[in-house]
Amino acid sequence: MDGEGTEKTRTLKTAGCGTQFSRNEDMRGREDKIVVGRKEIARAGGITAALGEALSLAALRMTPRAITAYEAVGSAPAEEDGCAMVVQIVVRDEEELREAMGAGAEAVLLEGVSVEEARRLGEIARELRGDCLVEEEKI
């Protein structure tokens, strides 16, 4: 959350094993991010399982639309489809980063790493997925 109060965080629960995730909303009440933290990873049994649950939850929030197979090929979901929700997972080292990226992470939050390590991990993340959003935890 930023210091100006433009964002609020709520908790939501998945239907699966009951793991709870943080959900950020902007000022208009639109959800923009699901944050998978250390507690959620532990509850789900690991990074891959927690990320899978969060991605499933994000997919459930999308609004399906009727299109043909020809229209679907190469098309990216539009904002009105509900795809603006990003799933961000907290990682602490290269091993966790690589596991998260292998499980389909589109955004990572680097926790407890030095500036040099954050730079290195950011480069690895972008090598694995060019559009990966990499943020550092602000202490």
Residue 38 lies in a domain: yes
Per-residue pLDDT at 112 exceeds 80: yes
More confident residue, 56 or 139: 56
Contact indicator for 91, 111 with CB cutoff of 8 Å = yes
Residue 32 lies in a domain: yes
pLDDT digits (tens, 9 = 90+) for 1-51: 334 333 433 344 333 344 445 444 443 444 578 899 999 999 999 999 999
Q: Among candidates 110, 113, 104, which has minimal Cα distance to 131?
A: 104
pLDDT digits (tens, 9 = 90+) for 52-61: 999 888 877 7
Distance CA 121, CA 14 (A): 29
Residue 3 lies in a domain: no
**Residue 33, token pair as written in the block:** 């991010």
Number of domains the chain is built from: 1
- Count CB neighbours of 70 within 10 A: 8
Q: What is the pLDDT of residue 1?
A: 36
Work out the burial of residue 60: count CB atoms within 10 Å of its CB; fewer than 13 is exposed, 13-18 middle, 19 or more buried: exposed
Model pTM score: 0.68
CA 23 to chain centre: 10
Residue 37 lies in a domain: yes
Residue 1 lies in a domain: no
Its sign, for the CA torsion 33, 14, 41, 104, is negative
Task: Identify residue 98 by its one-letter amino acid code.
Answer: R
| Cβ within 8 Å of residue 64, ≥6 positions away | 81
Residue 127 lies in a domain: yes
- CATH number of the domain at 32, please: 3.20.20.70
**Full residue range of the structural domain in which residue 96 is found:** 8-136
Residue 100 lies in a domain: yes
Q: What is the pLDDT of residue 30?
A: 44
Residue 2 lies in a domain: no
Q: What is the pLDDT of residue 59?
A: 78
Mean pLDDT, the chain, as a whole number? Answer: 75
**Residue 122, token pair as written in the block:** 């950011």
